[in-house]
Amino acid sequence: MRKIIHIDMDAFFASVEQRDNPELQGKPLVVGGDPNGRGVVAAASYEIRKFGVHSAMSCYRARQLCPQAIFVKPRFEVYREVSEQIRAIMHQYTPLVEPLSLDEAYLDVTDSPYEKNSATLIANRIRQQILRQTQLTASAGVSYNKMLAKIASDLNKPNGIAVITPEQGLDFIANLPVKKFHGIGKATVKMLHDMGIFTGLDLRNTPADVLKQRFGKRGDFFHQIAHGIDNREVKAERNHKSVGSETTFLQNTMDDTVIVAALYRENSQAFKDLQKKQRYARTITIKIKYSDFSVITRSHSISSHFEQESDAHYWIQWLYEHTPKLLPVRLVGVTYSNLLQAEASPQMPLL
């Protein structure tokens, strides 16, 4: 039986802005684009959420809902620095840390020697340290698998903690609306509703064959989560098998110039991280996530290694040109893999 913690920072981007600018504290704040243009809300402070404003909403709509809203542009470099600081705190308690984004991560503390091996006490200690070192609050979910830990972290936000024990798991899932399950999107929720499935108990009582026939491989996943089964391990990149960076656009786009420029920026960040870890890479991969959340990747390997970030520009452009362009793009990323220690890497040829 695993002990899994999910740490989720509270309104992370907005909280960082309020911390760094006291005049914004207690104010209805939006981190995002131009409210007079086509900007999108990247983060919304808790003060503005009561007006119905949330992330991914257009900034124009946010201003309609809350005319007194304050808009600030994102500072992603600052958010990355704070995220690294938070990550370092987590690694004090376990090497098994799996970041999901800048503001959330899973931790496996099954074998952690700290706090008498109590996952709840460890989660609270981490939250205390984050607050003390960054002046930011975090919420935590504690359970015996990743799915339930992530759901639990939403239950007492902001600045709260929730625990779902193995004894509570099945009853908790039974009463959970299917729209609350992570991995079940709006379109799938409608399909489940059309089948008469509204809660975890409804999902549990639906034969696995019926779910598989309707949803394919995802049907097996739905059947398992309805029974509280989630055997996914917390995957930590301790061996640095790959180094990457990705970003989500404030607004989905099909503009090739914008997309390639974003890929170059993420390549720059990934290459900097590669240098920090003293690695060379022979393989580069671009990741494209479309507006329907489907993902495609394209990779290329070279015989030597990428010596500087601009070495990858040609291949990024080439790989992107060979990806489908049927839907607007939501997210792009660049990852380096096939890594070598810097001192073990072969010399680049002179010509």
Q: Please, which residues bridge with residue 281 across strands?
A: 339
Residues contacting 293, CB < 8 A, separation 6+: 185, 330
For the beta sheet containing 29-32, the strands, ordered from the edge strand earlier in sequence to the opposite edge, are 41-44, 29-32, 70-72
CB neighbour burial string for 34-62, b if at least 16 within 10 angstroms, e if fewer: ebeeebbbbbbbbbbbebebebebbbeeb
Q: Which parts of 144-255 fold into alpha helices (H)?
A: 146-153, 166-174, 186-194, 200-204, 208-215, 217-226
Phi/psi at 17 (5° precision)? -65, -40
| 3-class state of residue 62 by DSSP | helix
Strand pairing of 138-143 and 161-163?
A: parallel
**Catalytically annotated residue among 17, 47, 98, 104:** 104
Residues contacting 108, CB < 8 A, separation 6+: 2, 3, 4, 94, 96, 233, 234
- Alpha-carbon span 212 to 210, nearest angstrom: 5
- Alpha-carbon span 64 to 323, nearest angstrom: 38
- Alpha-carbon span 351 to 343, nearest angstrom: 21
Residue 85 · residue 12 · CB < 8 Å: no
Does the annotation count 98 as an active-site position? no
Residue 145 · residue 231 · CB < 8 Å: yes
The H or E element that residue 301 is part of is strand 295-301
Residue 329 · residue 291 · CB < 8 Å: yes
Phi/psi at 63 (5° precision)? -65, -35
**Active site members:** 104
